Amino acid sequence: MTTLSQVAQHAGVTSATVSNVLRQRGKVGEETRARVLAAVEALGYRPHLTARALAEGSAPTLALMVASIANPFYPEFALAAEQAARQHGRFLIVCNTNDDPDIGRAYLDQIAGTLSDGVLVMNAKLRVDDLKMTQRRGAPVVLGMWEKPHEPPGLPCVAVDFHLAGALAARHLIALGHRKIGILFGGGASCIHSERERGFHDALAELGHSDAVVRIMHVHDSVEGGLSAGAEMLADGLVTAVFATNDLPALGMLHAAADLGIKVPQQLSVIGITDIQSARQARPALTTVALPTEQAAAMSIALLLELIANPSLGSPMRTAEAPQLVVRASTAVVPKRRLKRRSD
Amino acid sequence: MTTLSQVAQHAGVTSATVSNVLRQRGKVGEETRARVLAAVEALGYRPHLTARALAEGSAPTLALMVASIANPFYPEFALAAEQAARQHGRFLIVCNTNDDPDIGRAYLDQIAGTLSDGVLVMNAKLRVDDLKMTQRRGAPVVLGMWEKPHEPPGLPCVAVDFHLAGALAARHLIALGHRKIGILFGGGASCIHSERERGFHDALAELGHSDAVVRIMHVHDSVEGGLSAGAEMLADGLVTAVFATNDLPALGMLHAAADLGIKVPQQLSVIGITDIQSARQARPALTTVALPTEQAAAMSIALLLELIANPSLGSPMRTAEAPQLVVRASTAVVPKRRLKRRSD
DNA sequence: GTGAAAGCGCTAACAT
DNA sequence: ATGTTAGCGCTTTCAC
């Protein structure tokens, strides 16, 4: 390993000078500068980021807390977050909490404020107390996707209008004539998905179709969850459309329909929320409400960096662009039979 | 932030003693020990990992270099790697190189040996020279999945027998009676996939069916790549089975078949390699050759840690368990018609 | 058993 | 324009 002072020695100057030329700080003589640069080159010097961090009192990394990077939603967010961090000269440490608040806390305890300057949370399964305590220790925390733009969480966050996302799904289904709708409610009772479901119901009410929801099932937020619940929901042939609060169960529903020989979208419409990669790739391609995932990731990193630079900012809430309906091949107008049946 | 010396002061001892009780090192008096622990508790002290790293001359993080964490293959590997690292008290920095050797080099330059003690590479798009130089600087490098167990790469690695993976696919297809086989060759010409393809061909030769491959197409290693190539490959209805060197194009092929109204597996068999999550979830579920992804990740981390502890180990190669054929719903015996046609 | 002191590699005043 | 001098928070000999 080559150190600053070795470079200094080689260049016949002192390490402070080397530091200065490397960080373009104080004015350094043109000739000295060249000599230093040559020494850096000759010795293959690379700054020791850990030492620099200690001296500067700040770390070059940010922590990203997710339930599991293997969940198909996170990688897209993580990629965008890492790129954004990278552009600001920061590295990203990925922390999988496995939805266990204790693992999350252990992570926060260890790295927040020591190894990482800030924490980006994309996982609701962390205790708010732990997050606040992390903040108090001096490491900013931002919530990567807060579901209620109109109800700040008391922590810095980037809000995404999940209520609207649900509403968009409802309007789409109603516009297609669906009046017998099933809901696949993912991710546990008191979670982020409830806002989506509320948006769905509210839109239904606005449109005068509050009674259109004929089935609601809570499912594990996964393809498998949607698959098993789907088989049950589809059994009696009542519903003509299914709204899943997330793409994964929606995809599972697609499979359930296929297994039962039910044609999508001819006999059944399916809509999800998020627009993950596999939604585009599914057969039929999934109609869904796209979330501004990448934008939210980039905004989160930007906010985090601002908070690190200026901790007195409080708990600002930034709002990402609105979710957007993406119509693909899994939704269509309600089959005639169903429309008739409804009128009796 | 609470520092060691603050704790020391609070406990009426010196920081060396606090350090000792915290790291269970030198013998500390039972009574002092209790007092220190109480102070730690009272002040909410957490060790500053960066400072510790600098003092110890080693970092608590490992770097994982991947092309893109958003590629469906990497998250599973990354999760396993992070868990393994975690169990050894290490954190994982994820570096997306976007298949750009220059980005990879920039990463290596910056973090290897300073922020991270070692580098796990899951991406062939890094220059070997850069990796060797990283090693020379004192940061061990391990290749997460080396494709040739019988040809060590000159760098520490965990080998997975990709030749066998290809062979297993071939034997399966031949056993089912397929004699008109198309190959979707993913990931660029001189890449990791060539070993799989070679394994496929070698097995064919062994079985006396070298002429069974009637189409070979190079495709982008993605669902889209398989989809577009698939449409073309299937156009004339010649092939009865398709071997894709990776699951992603295999999945794309499934879609291409669906789009053309070709039934899988009744009219067409499709087999991939890897066994990513979506292979299980596809309809029909994809027959594939499962790679020991998680084991390779865990072994890679273990090897990396060994090398960090003992740099004089050289370039050991560990071999992960053999790939395994996983028969699901996308392959079946060749349709009769095809068998007949072959005999004319 | 506990303390004193040096130092990890770098930064940032402050001198000169 | 360059050098001197303190640290950053922790670990680790080496004395006592």
Per-residue pLDDT tens for A150-195? 999 999 999 999 999 999 999 999 999 999 999 999 976 556 788 9
Confidence label for A338 from pLDDT (cuts 50, 70 and 90): very low
- Asked if the domains at A4-47 and A162-290 fall in one CATH topology, the answer is no
Please name the amino acid found at residue A59.
A
Rounded to whole angstroms, how far apart are CA atoms B8 and B14?
5
Residue with nearest Cα to nucleotide D3 C1'? A14
Q: Name chain B contacts of A79, Cβ cutoff 8 Å.
A: 68-70, 96
Higher-confidence position of A188 and B130: B130
Q: Evaluate whether A162 touches A196 at the Cβ level (below 8 Å).
A: yes
Best probe of the A interface among B45, B61, B69, by most A CBs < 10 A, is: B69
For nucleotide C11, give the residue with the nearest CA to its C1'.
A55
Question: Which of B72, B91, B109 lies at the smallest CB-CB distance from A111?
Answer: B91
Per-residue model confidence as pLDDT tens digits over B311-320: 999 999 999 9
Cβ pair B126, B104 in contact under 8 A: yes
Provide the pLDDT for residue A190.
58
Cα B93 versus chain centre, distance: 15
> Residue A262: how many CB atoms within 10 A of its CB?
16
Mean pLDDT for the stretch of residues B80-99 = 97
Please report the pLDDT score of residue A189 as a whole number. 56
Is pLDDT of B70 > 70?
Answer: yes
CATH superfamily of A162-290: Response regulator (3.40.50.2300)
Close Cβ partners of B123 (under 8 Å, ≥ 6 residues apart) = B65, B66, B67, B97, B99, B104
DSSP bridge partners of B183: B216, B243
Partner residue facing B48 (CB), from A47, A49, A114: A114
3-state secondary structure of B143: strand
Contact B47 A79 (CB under 8 A): no
Superfamily of domain B4-47: lambda repressor-like DNA-binding domains (1.10.260.40)
Residue B190 scores a pLDDT above 90 = no
Mean pLDDT computed over B258-287: 95
The answer to whether residue A343 scores a pLDDT higher than 50 is no
Instruction: State, as a whole number of angstroms, the distance between the CA of A183 and the C1' of C14.
Output: 69
**Fold of the CATH domain A56-161+292-323:** Rossmann fold (3.40.50)
Footprint of strand D on the protein (CB under 7 A): A 8, 12-17, 20, 26-29, 31-33, 51, 54-55, 57; B 1, 3-5, 15-16, 19-20, 22-23, 25-26, 45, 47-48, 51-52, 54-56
CB A252 within 8 A of CB B280: no
Q: Which of the four pLDDT bands, split at 50, 70 and 90, describes residue B76?
A: very high
Q: What are the Cα distances from residue B284, in Å, to A219, A265, B183, B305?
A: 22, 18, 19, 41
CA of A4 to C1' of C10 (A): 8
Q: Per-residue confidence at B343, pLDDT binned at 50, 70, 90?
A: very low
- Using the beta-carbon criterion (under 8 Å), do B70 and A79 form an inter-chain contact? yes
Does the distance separating the beta carbons of B59 and A82 come in below 8 Å? no
Evaluate if residue B341 carries a pLDDT over 50: no
CA distance A143 to A120: 6
Going from N- to C-terminal start, the domains of chain B cover 4-47, 56-161+292-323, 162-290
Helix (H) or strand (E) run with residue B83 in it: helix B74-87
pLDDT band at residue B188 using 50, 70 and 90 as cut-offs: low
Per-residue pLDDT at B342 exceeds 50: no
Bridge partner list, A273: A289
List the Cα angle B76/B81/B87 in 5-degree steps: 130
Whole-number percent of chain A with pLDDT over 70: 96
Spell out which residues of chain B touch residue A111, defining contact as CB-CB under 8 Å: 49, 91
- CA B17 to C1' C5, in angstroms, rounded, equals 14
Per-chain mean pLDDT for chain B? 94
Q: Using a cut of 0.85, tell me whether the model's pTM lies above it.
A: yes
